[in-house]
Structure formats: C-alpha cells, structure tokens
Amino acid sequence: MPDPTAIITGQLIRHLERPHFKPFVIVTSDGGKHRVPTRDHLTITRLLRLIVLEHDDGTIEEINPLHITRITAARDPARAA
C-alpha cells in the first residue's frame, strides 16, 4: 500500500514546481483552509515530509500531511470583489 504522506507531499511538490505557479488552498480534516499565495510561502521537507506554511506576518503553521483532505485552486481576490 502506498504511503499516504508520500502521495500528498508529492502532490504539493507538483503544485509548487509548475512552470506557471497558481495560488492554491490546502484543506485539512478539521475544516481549516490554508492559502498558499506563492511558492515562497510553503516549505516541504522531502525526507521528514514536514509541511510548513509561512504567512506574510512572519507566523508559521506546521501542517501534518495526514490531515490534508484536499488541495484546491485559490480564488482570485481581485475577481471576488
């Protein structure tokens, strides 16, 4: 059986490495939504499979890959207005 953490981290890495990055949202099992506006905001350690999201105010969130339920495209804030 494939390792679920390897699958989800692989999906996140693919999102980050796209030639034309598009912001996305990580949805977790507790209903949390974590917006990733640029590549620089998300760090994934490939061996430990630790996912760290850094916000513009300097705060960070560690996200357990086992709690990620979805990765969705982020809505464009300019279009939402």
Task: Confirm whether 80 is domain-assigned.
Answer: no
Determine, yes or no, domain membership for 29. Answer: yes
Cα dihedral: 34, 52, 60, 75 (round 10):
-20
At 24-47, the pLDDT tens digits run: 999 999 999 999 999 999 999 877
Q: Where residue 57 sits, what CATH number does that domain have?
A: 2.30.30.100
- Residue with more model confidence, 42 or 78: 42
**Residue 52 located in a structural domain:** yes
Q: Does residue 81 lie within any of the structural domains? A: no
Report if residue 49 sits inside a domain. yes
Query: Above 70 in pLDDT, residue 78?
Result: no
Is 31 within the bounds of a domain? Answer: yes
Look up the domain containing 59 and give its range: 4-74
The domain total for the chain is 1
